[in-house]
Structure 1
Amino acid sequence: MTFQVTVAPSGRQFECDDGETVLAAAMRAGVPLPYGCKNGACGSCKGKLLSGSVTHGAHQLKAMSPDEEKQGLALFCCATPHTDLAIEAREVLAAGQFPIKKMPSRVATMDKVADDVVVVTLQLPANEKLQYLAGQYIEFLLKDGKRRSYSMANAPGDDPQISLHIRHMPGGLFTDQVFGTMKERDILRFEGPFGTFFLREDSDKPIVLLASGTGFAPIKAIIEQSIHLKSKRPMTLYWGGRRPQDLYMHALCEEWARTLPHFSYVPVISEPQPQDGWNGRSGFVHRAVIDDRLDLSAHQVYACGAPIVVESAQRDFSALCKLPADEFYADSFTSEADLV
């Protein structure tokens, strides 16, 4: 049995198989609904159910609460239909312009930039090219059928390599391997690109970039893409960590601030210790944005990192800084420990 899904306001339609989620069917049909984690953790794919009925699979309450479901909202990555559906969702047309494909890759380099962060550079096959938008991610295909997602940390181009920033999560199925047994020349398979978090190039609004931890990776790709485009849009990066060593490419950001006329950088440390000798901003990174910019009504915000950082920024920027809801773009990093 199949069900027809109609998307408002575009009027586009696609078929959803029995037991298939709305998001999976949309991706299969090339209908670019917004999404992030695809596993019920981030809420990026949430939209309005205008007619029809669905059943939601396991998901986090922060992604969609029971009250939101009662109000007619649906989390499309977890929603399977029982009837034909009419849904309301903002399509992200640029997200579907490049094919999603499975590719082998070889570990070219592994550079440990912090005690718990390694930059892994992957060499792609000579006869293949991964086309993607700055900010998107790939999923590693593990032997047990599980997947792990990591954002590209370099802007797209002709380089046959992609760079990833991987933080060690002790006990993590994949990161224990990365920090324990992985070595250069190992072969890894992945699928991508995925995600609707990427630089919107059709605007001239000033940009606020908000990163926590390795959420810096896709933000770095967006900055590099802006440099490649010779963009003159004002751009400010707020990068937060618990300790100064968490800002593992601090020197690069300082160099950008010195050399790029439209770029500024604000590092923020939440838990500085006396031995750190930290003299910069401290506290929650999104609060530093609020302290500096009470009016974000004419800005775009790109936020990436820990879910609590992204959620707090989205809530407070809207409530306190007049940021339009449709100008907040986010990628909330989730882990297996975060999932229901």
Structure 2
Amino acid sequence: MPFKIKIRNSSEIEVDEGNTILEAALDQGIDFPHGCRTGNCGACKSRKITGDIEMSPFSEFALDEDEESQGLILACRAVPWSDCEIEILSEEYNNQSVSNDIEIKSLEYKVENILKKTKDIYVLNLKIENEKSIEFKAGQYAELYIGNCKEKHFSMANSPKSSNLEFHIKTLSGGEVSNYVKNNLKIGENVKVKGPYGNAYLRDQHKGPIIAIAGGTGLAPILSIIKNSQEIEMKQPINIYYGAQSEKDLYCIEQFEEFSKNNKNLKFFPVVLDEPKNKIIRQGFVTDAIIQDINDFDGYKAYLAGPPKMVEVAEEILITKGIRKVDIHSDAFYTPYDEIKE
């Protein structure tokens, strides 16, 4: 028997026994804030008002003990066992928007180009014909339906002002979508794109300094954010830190170097773990470079995207050094290996 879940200030949904609130909400067309869907990122954090809800395993990084004791839940791990009422948290409380003010659309695009950038990263360019492209905010992501593969989330790397879409895809062992892109996807093939989603987007009204931290293909949403910030002529200091394993794993750095060349307030710092040949590139963890460079983050906005551990450590450092949690906008890129198993 399905349970009725009232979402305060939104609508009512039905959740079949054993299913999660987020799963049911998305199936029923509700624009519910979410990210990883596996209890790791905290993007779907909500407040339980009434009812009996059981939580499947989740990361303490996404929901800590204090928050859980206050009645907060993760909708992606919340399995109801009675009729319930919940409330989606406001941005002021938890860095999440109650609703997306851009309409979610599903449109067909064609593959315009597939570029191999490193040994395992491909840039996928899509174009649309005879329709207006999906609207989005810099830093958001979309669901891609490629071939017969299950849908997968990828962040837009292009500016919101561009009608063509750009996605950065890293090939993974056993990754259905990434290996299809590598081995089978053809120029001219149709790709369905549904979006936008995500709350780690550029806050263009912010006048204070900005720090952007990227790891791996987390560079994609950061690239979109920086492109947009330059188009709208944001004047504040912007520091960009990009971490990778080795110099060969860095890509698109020419674009960031061009940004910094044209804007004296923008600085770009590539950091790798292996010793680089180029002395301009720093060696070590990207988070260590940040600690060395900036002592006080009071008044900053931070945009983080990349591997979960990097995002988690960076958030802890930023908070320790004075940034407010509400001013951190993060998007952790979870692979199947990062997901919590039930």
TM-score when normalising by structure 1: 0.88
Partner of 2:297: 296
Q: How is 1:142-153 mapped onto 2 (pairs within 5 angstroms)?
A: 146-153=150-157
Return 5+ residue gaps in structure 1 as ranges.
7-11
Counterparts of 1:253 and 1:267 in 2: how far apart (Å)? 10
SS at match of 1:96: coil
Q: How is 1:96-245 mapped onto 2 (pairs within 5 angstroms)?
A: 96-141=100-145, 146-157=150-161, 159-245=162-248
Q: Is this contact kept in 2: 1:50–1:88, CA < 8 A? A: no
Counterparts of 1:171 and 1:103 in 2: how far apart (Å)? 27
Q: How is 1:1-340 mapped onto 2 (pairs within 5 angstroms)?
A: 1-6=3-8, 12-19=9-16, 21-23=20-22, 34-57=33-56, 59-60=58-59, 62-64=61-63, 69=68, 72-81=71-80, 82-87=82-87, 89-91=89-91, 92-93=96-97, 96-141=100-145, 146-157=150-161, 159-272=162-275, 276-278=277-279, 280-319=281-320, 321-339=321-339, 340=341
Say if 1:80 and 1:125 are closer, same or farther in 2 by CA, change over 3 A: farther
Shift of 1:130: 0.7
Return 5+ residue gaps in structure 2 as ranges.
none
Q: Deviations over 1:218-275 (max 9, x none)?
A: 00000111111111122110111111122201122111111113211111112226xx
Residue 338 of structure 1 aligns to which amino acid in structure 2? D
Counterparts of 2:151 and 2:302 in 1: how far apart (Å)? 28
Moved more, 236-245 or 121-130: 121-130
Partner of 1:9: none
SS at match of 1:191: strand
Counterparts of 1:108 and 1:94 in 2: how far apart (Å)? 35
Moved more, 114-123 or 16-25: 16-25
Shift of 1:18: 2.4
Percent identity (aligned):
29
Residue 271 of structure 1 aligns to which amino acid in structure 2? D
Counterparts of 1:291 and 1:29 in 2: how far apart (Å)? 48
Q: Is this contact kept in 1: 2:216–2:243, CA < 8 A? A: yes
Counterparts of 2:149 and 2:188 in 1: how far apart (Å)? 22
Shift of 1:78: 2.5
Counterparts of 1:94 and 1:85 in 2: how far apart (Å)? 15
SS at match of 2:144: strand
**Alignment RMSD:** 2.6
Q: State how many pairs are aligned.
A: 331
TM-score when normalising by structure 2: 0.87
Shift of 1:170: 2.5
Counterparts of 2:238 and 2:98 in 1: how far apart (Å)? 22
Counterparts of 1:287 and 1:208 in 2: how far apart (Å)? 14
Shift of 1:117: 1.1
